[in-house]
Amino acid sequence: MPASVSLPSCVATRIRGSPFSQLTPRISHVSCSEVRGILCLSDTHNPLAQSARRDLVQQLDGAGFRVYDSADVGDYQLVLLLGGDGFLLESLHGLDFPSTPVLGVNFGSVGFLMNTKACLSGLLAALQEWRFRSEELLVLEAEAELEDGGTTVLRAVNDFVIERLTGQGLRLRLSVDGRFFNQFSGDGLVFATPAGSTAYNLAAGGPVLHPDMRGIVVTPLYPHRAAPFHSLEFPLVVPVTAKLQIEADDLPKRGLRLLADGRPLRRVTTIRIRDAGRRVRLLRLEEHRFIETLSRKFIGESETTSDGRPRGREGGS
């Protein structure tokens, strides 16, 4: 079950019924002197995150910050999230991908987009002195045409995934910037942002993109290898300016669904994916380094010498 955001039911109704961006402060840059109000949310399914939020709210209140637990009440300049990566994604969707800076603290498993729980002991001082570096997350947009003739627009900060609905493999026509690229046959395709490149894309054999790179990764899912199908069998990285179109053949026999950060949309016929023109400003503590975090989270800790070399190689190669 997806992590849920601790918003009152009236707010959840407004999220579904109207553009939530109308409720979210839109600022692109802040400093410590400008942060007076903080929207602080925690995963309602995680008791540790809930307990940590209560303690943190007391500290923030005592330091003079105004803390809110609802997105439509008060004026806030920072979003503080306690949970896992799934909770962060759910919150970003609920807040309509705000430009208000977002600071996450990990109470989940991997927490690649979050700061560690250990930061809580010094978080108040970090906020007061604004000891953060920011990372801009790309937001993708997909316009999807449905079998019933309808059209809908979805957004994702991690990835869009096209996957089959039946036991039949998909037949997809993939075009890049208006030019035909591949007639794909297989289980589906992943379209990942740099932030999402360490998720399903990586599990499917796609590359990790550094957050400073502006690109979209297209990774095939179990392509048919038989020569008559000529399916894409390798990941492709395109610039963020690229416009991607995917058309499904042999419908409804080979039905598909589109997932936007895990949120499903069924019975899709054509999908157009592009940069949504939005960015989410994710805050990291100053000591955060992408390569070190990638190594720790996905390869595992290794013992090193004082100069950073693996232990046991001090004497040479």
Cβ 4 vs Cβ 43: under 8 Å: yes
CA-CA-CA-CA dihedral for 9, 10, 11, 13, to nearest 10: 90
Instruction: Report how far residue 184's alpha carbon sits from residue 24's, in angstroms, rounded to the nearest whole number.
Output: 40
Strand extents, DSSP E, the chain: 37-42, 66-68, 78-83, 102-106, 132-146, 151-156, 159-164, 170-176, 179-192, 215-223, 236-239, 244-248, 256-260, 263-266, 268-285
- Tokens representing 83? 């949970």
Cβ 231 vs Cβ 186: under 8 Å: yes
Instruction: Report how far residue 197's alpha carbon sits from residue 219's, in angstroms, rounded to the nearest whole number.
Output: 10
Enzyme catalytic residues: 85
Instruction: Report how far residue 90's alpha carbon sits from residue 250's, in angstroms, rounded to the nearest whole number.
Output: 33
Q: Which residues contact 254 (CB under 8 A, 6 or more apart)?
A: 164, 166, 168, 169, 170, 171, 248
